[in-house]
Amino acid sequence: MSAYPANLLEALRAEPGVKLSERATKDADWWPGDAPQDKKAAEKRMEQLAELLSDLQERLFAASVAGGQGPAVLLILQGMDTSGKGGTVRHVLGMLDPQGVKHHAFKAPTEEEAAHDFLWRITRQLPAGGLVGVFDRSHYEDVLVAKVKGFATPDAVESRYGKIVDFEKQLIEQGIHPIKVMLHISREEQFERLSARLERADKHWKYSPGDVDDRLLWDDFQSAYEVAINRTDNQGAPWHIVPADQKWKARLCVAELLLATLERVAPDWPVATFDVEQEKARLAAAK
C-alpha cells in the first residue's frame, strides 16, 4: 500500500475506479507521514482542531447572521452498521457549537416520504446558510439499501446516480458544500463491534436484528458502495474513504476533512451593517 500519497487528505480521496477491497480499513502502512502517528499525538491534534474548527464555524455562522444566506457545509456520513457514524457525530461534531450544527439521521422512509421523489426528504433537511449540516445516512441509501434489497427497480437505481450528481451540483451552486465520507470498516471489525453490543446490556439499544441480516449481505453492500462511489465521485463533490477500524484515526480524518472544507468556504468576519461610531455614541448616551 505504499502507493498512497504522503498527504492525509489526498490519501482519503476515492481515486477514479476505486476498489473498496484495495482500500485500507486499518493497516498502518498507508497512514501518511503528515498525520499523527499514535493515539496520544492524535488527541493533541484534536485539541488544536477543536479550536480551529470553533473559530471557523463562528465565522461561517456570522456571515449568515450579518448578510442573509451565506455558505453552509454538509457532512454526509455513510458506512455499514457499527462503522462509527454516531461516534463521529458525537466526537467530531461535538467539538462545534450546537447552535451552528444541524444534524439529521435518516431512517427507513415514512409513508409520506416514500410518496415523494427520493430527494424530497433530503432537501427538507438541508442546512441553512451558516450551518454545518450532518447527515447520518443520506440520499445514498437510495442507491445502497434500495439496490441490495430491491426496494427500487434496477432502472430506478440506475437513474438515481445521475440525479444525485446533479443534485449535489445544485447544492454547491446554492453555497452548500458537501463532504462525502464513507467510513470503511472490515467485516472482522464489524463482528467485534456487534458482539460487543450484544455482550453489554447498556449497548443493547444500539443493536437491531436487522444488523445481522445486512451483515449476511456484506459483499452486496460493498459492491453497491463501490458502484455508488464511482458513479457519483466528481471534482466538485468528491468521495472520501475513511479507514474506520480504529476509531481515533477515523475521527481525526473526518475532523481534518471538516477543517479543510471550512478553511476553503468560511467567509471572513462580516463587515458591520451599521455605523459603528454612531452606535458607540448611542450606547454611551444609554449608559
Chain residues binding a copy of itself by CB under 8 A are 62-63, 65-66, 86, 89-90, 93-94, 96-99, 101, 103, 105, 134, 136, 191, 194-195, 198, 201-202, 204-209, 212, 215-216, 269-272, 274, 276, 279-280, 282-283, 286-287
Which of 39/203 has CB closer to a copy of itself? Answer: 203
**33/98 with CB nearer a copy of itself:** 98
Which residue's CB is nearer to a copy of itself, number 81 or number 142?
81
Q: From the CB of 134, what's the least distance to a copy of itself, in Å?
A: 7
The conformational region for residue 75 under phi > 0 = left, psi -120 to 50 = alpha, else beta, is beta
Residue 3 or 216 having the CB closest to a copy of itself: 216
Give me the least distance between CB of 281 and a copy of itself, in Å please.
10
| Residue placing its CB nearer to a copy of itself in the complex, 34 or 213 | 213
CB of 99 to a copy of itself, least distance (A): 5
CB of 266 to a copy of itself, least distance (A): 13
Grid coordinates in use for 219? 459483499
CB of residue 161 to a copy of itself, shortest distance in Å: 29
**Taking the complex as a whole, how short is the minimal distance between the CB of residue 121 and a copy of itself, in angstroms?**
16
The CB-side HSE value for 197 (13 A sphere, CA atoms) comes to 18
Nearer to a copy of itself, 143 or 255 (CB): 255
